[in-house]
């Protein structure tokens, strides 16, 4: 699908500028354009969201819509960086149901709309650091994961939260090859899940998530490597024991459970000390990677006493 030109040409200089521009678009009624046509599916269904400014936003300049939506790791749609953009266009995410289970009082199957409806959608501009040593700045839209999880009333045995991506090789062509052990699974400690930085994300740039970014809902944990941000979630389980996560299962000596951004602990095959900022151009220097991706003040206390070299 082609994005309308007005989005492509968005030149965002700052967060406030971006929010103003979107408010203008919404008030001009442009958001409703297309609503009179046939019901859209796939990425054609990407639409404007009602959002409020959220906390924790960086004032660094966000990456362009193109960067954010064409350079993705989403192996369910292929292992190339542009594969998700190419092969996820027609992926249909309506209807979408999320199963909640495990150590909580209100397990069950919840429709995507019912999960999201009670919450205000917050704009949050976060740094995003991939384990492959590149980074972006992304204006996400979402709800604090903790606020969502509390509705299911986790009990005192809920020490961890396990997440699972849709498994459907007919709709996700990348799953037809066993590159990873499908379905993709991820996990957080309950403290990490409840941390106010952790975002259950439903949009980007003020719009609902394009498929290649993990529609209709995905995690964003800005102090961890990007692979912790599991996409197209269909299951959330509260567990007593630490769950395994897909990359850890596939290469335990390279990817751990925590996967906190840490410039001092290298990946066995490359350095994590510096990162290439996407969009900085052909001649830009790499920039130093910050401890916890620059969110140390907010999250370092979660890991006091933990050996981060061992628990990578």
Q: By CB under 8 A, is residue 276 in contact with other proteins? A: yes
The binder of other proteins chosen from 98, 104, 278, 299 (CB under 8 A): 278
Residues whose CB falls within 8 Å of the CB of residue 49, separated by 6 or more in sequence, listed in order = 121, 141, 202, 203, 206, 207, 208
Closest to other proteins by CB, 253 or 269: 269
What are the distances in angstroms from CA 210 to CA 57, 65, 157, 218? 21, 11, 36, 11
Looking at the Cβ atoms of 104 and 130, the one nearer to other proteins is 130
Stretch that binds other proteins, among 29-37, 121-129, 229-237, 267-275 (CB under 8 A): 267-275
Name which of 56 and 134 has its Cβ closer to other proteins. Answer: 134
Segment holding 192, helix H or strand E: helix 190-194
Query: Distance between CA atoms of 272 and 277, rounded to whole angstroms?
Result: 13
Q: How far is the CB of 280 from other proteins (least distance, A)?
A: 9
Q: Is 264 left (phi over 0), alpha (psi -120 to 50) or beta?
A: alpha
Q: What is the largest CA-CA distance in the chain?
A: 57
Q: Which of 35, 37, 117, 282 binds other proteins (CB under 8 A)?
A: 282
- Range in contact with other proteins (rule: CB under 8 A) among 19-27, 109-117, 283-291, 293-301: 283-291
The least CB distance from residue 252 to other proteins, in Å, is 13
Cα–Cα distance measured from residue 189 to residue 152, given in angstroms and rounded to the nearest whole number: 16
Distance CA 274, CA 9 (A): 30
The least distance separating other proteins from the CB of residue 140, rounded to whole angstroms, comes to: 17
| Interface segment toward other proteins; rule CB under 8 A; list 9-17, 46-54, 200-208, 270-278 | 270-278
Q: Determine how β-strand 274-277 pairs with β-strand 134-144.
A: parallel
Q: Per rule CB under 8 A, is residue 244 in the interface with other proteins?
A: no
Task: Give the whole-angstrom CA distance, residue 289 versus residue 132.
Answer: 12
Cα dihedral 198, 236, 147, 65 in deg (nearest 10):
50
Contact mark string toward other proteins, 157..196, x via CB under 8 A? --------------------x-xx----------------
Which 53-92 residues touch other proteins, going by CB under 8 A? 63, 66-67, 70-71, 75, 79, 81-82
Q: Which residues bind other proteins (CB under 8 A)?
A: 63, 66-67, 70-71, 75, 79, 81-82, 132, 134, 177, 179-180, 250-251, 269-271, 276, 278-279, 281-283, 285-286
């Amino acid at each position: 699908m082609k994005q309308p030109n007005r989005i492509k040409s968005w030149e965002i200089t700052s967060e406030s500028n971006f929010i103003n521009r979107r408010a203008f678009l919404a008030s001009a009624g442009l958001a409703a354009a297309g609503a009179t046509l046939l019901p859209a599916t796939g990425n054609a269904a990407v639409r404007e969201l009602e959002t409020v400014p959220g906390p924790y936003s960086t004032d660094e300049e966000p990456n362009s819509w193109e960067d954010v939506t064409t350079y993705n790791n989403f192996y369910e749609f292929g292992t190339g960086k542009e594969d998700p953009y190419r092969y996820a266009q027609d992926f249909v995410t309506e209807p979408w149901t999320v199963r909640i289970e495990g150590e909580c009082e209100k397990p069950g199957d919840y429709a995507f709309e019912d999960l999201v409806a009670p919450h205000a959608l917050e704009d949050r501009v976060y740094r995003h650091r991939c384990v492959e040593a590149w980074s972006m700045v992304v204006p996400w839209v979402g709800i604090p994961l903790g606020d969502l999880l509390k509705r299911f009333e986790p009990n005192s045995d809920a020490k961890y939260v396990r997440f699972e991506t849709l498994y459907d090789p007919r709709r996700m062509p990348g799953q037809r090859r066993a590159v990873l052990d499908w379905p993709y699974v991820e996990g957080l400690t309950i403290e990490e899940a409840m941390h106010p930085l952790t975002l259950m994300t439903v949009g980007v740039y003020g719009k609902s998530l394009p498929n290649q970014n993990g529609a209709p809902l995905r995690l964003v944990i800005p102090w961890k490597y990007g692979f912790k941000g599991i996409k197209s979630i269909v299951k959330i389980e509260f567990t007593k024991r630490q769950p395994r996560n897909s990359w850890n299962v596939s290469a335990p000596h390279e990817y751990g459970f925590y996967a906190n951004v840490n410039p001092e602990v290298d990946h066995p095959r490359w350095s994590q000390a510096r990162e290439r900022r996407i969009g900085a151009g052909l001649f830009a220097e790499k920039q130093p990677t910050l401890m916890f991706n620059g969110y140390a003040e907010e999250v370092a206390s979660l890991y006091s006493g933990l050996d981060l070299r061992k628990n990578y």
